[in-house]
Amino acid sequence: MEVKRTVEYEDGELILMEGGESDRNIYVLLDGQARVSKETDKGQVTLALLEEGDLFGEASFLAQKYGVRSASVAAKGKVKVGILDQEKLSAEYENLSPLFQQILKELAERFSKTTTLASRLAARRMEKPSLERREAIRSNPLRTMRIEVEYSPASSSGTETLRGSESYRGLLSDLAKTGMGLALFTTNFSESTHPLGAVFIFRFTLPGKPMVRVPGQIVWARAMGGKKARLGVKFTETNPYLIKLVEEFLQNVADQ
């Protein structure tokens, strides 16, 4: 396999985002592990754990069409990803017979349908969570702290728009150990105001810490009826201070 370029990711960082536009690239995991997941009406489910040497993102290339990603791929620990040379792959693809090309396209379509079915089956298992999972949910201290998160749409330049009617509130439900994102519960959800990929300025104050103000992008949303929803946010900017602040806070929570 000829790798055109490589990219490194930190733990929890999104490599591919479900619902994002496909670029028809094929990726190979050069070092580390990555988790493949999909959003369902029961929440996010894990479909596979990728190991070193595994390929991903191949469905859109084999189908030879642009579309949206059917699943997300996120780094599990620090990883290194290679992007294969698409020009050379396309040249090799064109050398195949029309019949074989059609077979590959149909296999790619079938694979996408299988991914959706697998996520639905996994979601059904979440309807009656195991004792361990219920205990993990109950023992998440962030959900009992009721830390308020206020967020406003960011302008095209990435700065905050005027606060007021476009300002939303939610409760922090999870925080990435890397300081690269968060999850929150909101009662102000609608698909028009909270589309996937939308960027907001998030503000929250962790107990005993100064206020955090950071831009972030909605990477998944789980509607819960009415205007209730859980949102997954990836910070689009971060800094060593924020990472250290989050690490210290989570360590303090764990030590309590």
In the 3-class helix/strand/coil scheme, how is 151-191 assigned residue by residue?
EEEECCCCCECCCCCCCEEEEEEEECCCCCEEEEEECCCCC
| Closest among 138, 207, 222, 149 to 181, alpha carbons compared | 149
Residue 224 near residue 173, CB atoms below 8 Å: no
Residue 2 and residue 30: Cα distance in Å, rounded?
A: 12
Q: Is 105 left (phi over 0), alpha (psi -120 to 50) or beta?
A: alpha
- Which tops the pLDDT comparison, 206 or 106? 206
- Which tops the pLDDT comparison, 128 or 186? 186
Residue 154 and residue 163: Cα distance in Å, rounded?
A: 10
Residues 6+ apart with CB under 8 A from 53: 28, 29
Give, for 115, the enclosing helix (H) or strand (E).
helix 98-126
Domain ranges across the chain: 3-126, 135-255
DSSP string across 200-247: EEEEEE-TTSPEEEEEEEEEEEEE-STT-EEEEEEES---HHHHHHHH
Provide the residue count of the chain. 256
Residue 84 near residue 26, CB atoms below 8 Å: yes
pLDDT at 140 over 80: no
Helix, strand or coil, per DSSP, at residue 113? helix
Residue 23 and residue 35: Cα distance in Å, rounded?
A: 20
Please tell me which of 17-26, 91-100, 131-140 the model is most confident about, judged by mean pLDDT.
Answer: 91-100
- Give Dmax (Cα) for the chain: 65
pLDDT at 155 over 80: no
Decide which of 1.10.260.40, 2.40.10.220, 2.60.40.10, 3.40.50.2000 is the CATH code for 135-255: 2.40.10.220
Homologous superfamily (CATH) of 3-126 is: Jelly Rolls (2.60.120.10)
Predicted pLDDT at 129: 45
Residue 38 and residue 147: Cα distance in Å, rounded?
A: 27
pLDDT tens digits, one per residue of 55-88:
988 877 887 766 677 788 889 889 999 999 888 8
